[in-house]
Amino acid sequence: MNNLLDKIFFRSKNLNYINLGFKDIKNNTEVEQIFSAIHSFSKNSEIRYVGGCVRKIINKEKVDDIDLAVNLKPKDVCNALSKKNIKYYESGIEHGTITALINNIKFEITSLRKDVDTDGRHAKVEFSDNWKEDASRRDFTINSIYADIEGSLFDPFEGKKDLENGKVNFIGDIEARIKEDYLRVLRYIRFFLNYSKDKHNPKIINIIKKKSKWCFVNFF
């Protein structure tokens, strides 16, 4: 039922340039092998582009890395890749990340997850098969956009709209998201410099100022 609701409410057909961007990735890399390996593993397995590569295609930037999200547990991802003789290594398996390697191109594949506990930098995670739940734990709306191999988007927090309007918005409670991982302060600054078309939101700046002392003590 959740997957059906996802398709009804959150998927969208995209402007042609977005579809062409994903078509270029498919034509110029072996990413289709990754999608095929996952989709053939079981009747419910699914994999999507996520994060930077989706954001960059929407913003007409050069794609220099390919991140993927999958609704399988890490060990199942390894099994799916092995069945298709795709090389991989466990780059961060404790947090759900497997790196596949085809013709010297890396594909980072991360299992859907939710944070069980956080300490301001690291999180204890629990793997999930729920796309909305995975999106909810991400930092900014512009990082919570997924796409299938053809470029149809799953965008539950309207990250595409924010990206087009030059908005850098946290997902959920700003203070809670920063407290989960204080590096998000630095990521906010980077994304603001790269994508914002507006002035800083005073609410965000006030929270960052309130948290920055703790942040820098723990970082340095």
Provide the number of structural domains found in the chain.
1
Residue pLDDT, tens place only, 48-84: 999 999 999 999 999 999 999 999 999 999 999 999 9
CA distance 145 to 55: 7
Average pLDDT over residues 94-120: 86
- Is 182 among the domain residues? no
Task: Provide the 10 A C-beta neighbour count for residue 27.
Answer: 9
Q: What are phi and psi of 216, to 5 degrees?
A: -75, -30
Q: Measured between alpha carbons, how far is 14 from 128 in angstroms, rounded to an integer?
A: 27
- 3-state secondary structure (DSSP) of residue 100: strand
Supply the pLDDT for residue 208. 84
pLDDT at 8: 42
In a domain, 197, yes or no: no
Tokens of 126: 């629990």
Burial label, 52 (beta-carbon count in 10 A; 0-12, 13-18, 19+): middle
d(CA 77, CA 88): 10
Residue 47 falls inside a structural domain: yes
Residue 59: inside a domain: yes
The alpha carbon of 59 is separated from its chain's Cα centroid by a whole number of angstroms, namely 16
Terminal CA-to-CA distance of the chain, rounded, Å? 46
Instruction: Tell me what percent of the residues of the chain surpass a pLDDT of 70.
Output: 85
- The beta strand positions in 36-181, using DSSP E, are 47-50, 66-70, 87-92, 97-102, 105-111, 113-118, 123-127, 146-147, 153-154
Q: Does some domain include residue 78? A: yes
Residue 73 lies in a domain: yes
55 domain residue, yes or no = yes
Check pLDDT > 80 for residue 95: yes
Question: Quick one: pLDDT at residue 177?
Answer: 87
Gap between the Cα atoms of 106 and 84, Å rounded: 16
Provide the pLDDT confidence category of residue 123 given band limits of 50, 70 and 90.
low
pLDDT grade for 218, boundaries at 50, 70 and 90: very low
Residue 201 forms part of a structural domain:
no
Q: Give every CB contact of residue 134 below 8 A, 6+ residues apart in sequence.
A: 69, 112, 113, 114, 128
125-154 per-position pLDDT tens digit:
789 999 999 999 999 999 999 999 999 999
Mean pLDDT (the chain) is 87
Query: What CATH number has the domain bearing residue 65?
Result: 3.30.460.10
Expressed as residue numbers, the domain containing 68 is: 2-167
- For residue 83 the two structure tokens come to 């069945």
Report the length, in residues, of the chain: 220
